[in-house]
Amino acid sequence: MELHFWSATGMYAMASAWVIFHQLRGHRSETVAVWWLVLAGWVMQGVPMIRELIGSGGQVGMNLALSLEWSSWVMGLLYLAGWRLLGREARLAGVLLLPLMVLTLGGALFLSTAAPEARGVTGPLLIGHLVLSLLAYGLFTIAAIFALMDAFQEHALKSKHLGALFEMLPPLNALESTLFLMVRMGFLLLTTSMVTGALHAHEQKGVYFVFSHKVVFTWATWLVFGVLLVGRHYQGWRGRRAVRFTLWGYGLLVLAFLGVKFVKEFIILNH
């Protein structure tokens, strides 16, 4: 299985290098070869994961390493779909998203050697919660990338230090529109995942809210993005405020989705 993941990592790395080189040379449109490279890596990565899922009878094992594997795969799916559906802004996200996918998958391979046995995830509610959470995480990751691009472009405009990196970015309004599209879609998926998580908790324990670090960080993420969307709708929030809220919310989501697992698996279990 590791051969598949190393091959996928290589494909993502080549696509990443191609995108960065292409953009720094001032090309406005992405070459379709990047899309095919990512697709090839995505298939190489996904085949053994899906085969293992089918072989286990639909039982998904989830620890930190597997969470990283699945999140990189979902980010690849979102990039492939966005490349075709959303145009240049979504394609440009590959400048940061593709290297992040390489690091994420590489981290999964590294941690898999020391990871504890994965906890099985079964049942439609829990699997639905997991799928929705992964999709929300992927969308918010892309939103965070656009927030960083937005911050860089606004800083360059104000400081009047324009250069090759500035020239390759789309107009500020287009960046912000795509950023808030990702936030709205991610917020909807996160809300739905929280509802399915609450229903699963009630099914298993008779309560809708189970107090845990993951739940607290998830609720904090939901509140931050909820406030951002309300501020955007009623006050027209944009610029630095939108960037700060997006990055705060994403940081809390990383803690909920990955940070809690890291503490449990590599700090608490080793003491």
pLDDT by position in tens, the chain (length 271): 567 778 889 999 999 888 887 776 665 556 788 889 999 999 999 888 887 776 665 566 667 888 888 899 999 999 999 888 876 777 778 888 999 999 998 888 887 766 555 555 666 777 888 889 999 999 999 999 999 988 887 777 666 665 556 566 677 788 888 899 999 999 999 999 999 988 887 777 777 777 788 889 999 999 999 999 999 999 988 888 999 999 999 999 999 888 888 777 777 655 5
pTM here is 0.88
Check residue 189 and give its pLDDT: 96
Dist CA 20 CA 8 (whole Å): 18
Give the relative orientation of helices 213-235 and 239-254 as an angle to the nearest 10 degrees: 160
Q: How far is CA 42 from CA 55, 73, 158, in A?
A: 20, 6, 39
Structure-token pair, residue 137 = 């995480």
In angstroms, the CA 200 to CA 45 distance is 29
Q: Identify the pLDDT of residue 55.
A: 62
Report the 10 Å Cβ neighbour count for 228: 23
User: Amino acid identity, residue 186?
Assistant: G
- Residues making up the chain, counted from first to last: 271
Q: What gap in Å lies between CA 85 and CA 115, rounded to an integer?
A: 37
Short-list 71, 17, 3, CA closest to 256: 71
- What Rg value do the Cα atoms of the chain yield, rounded? 19
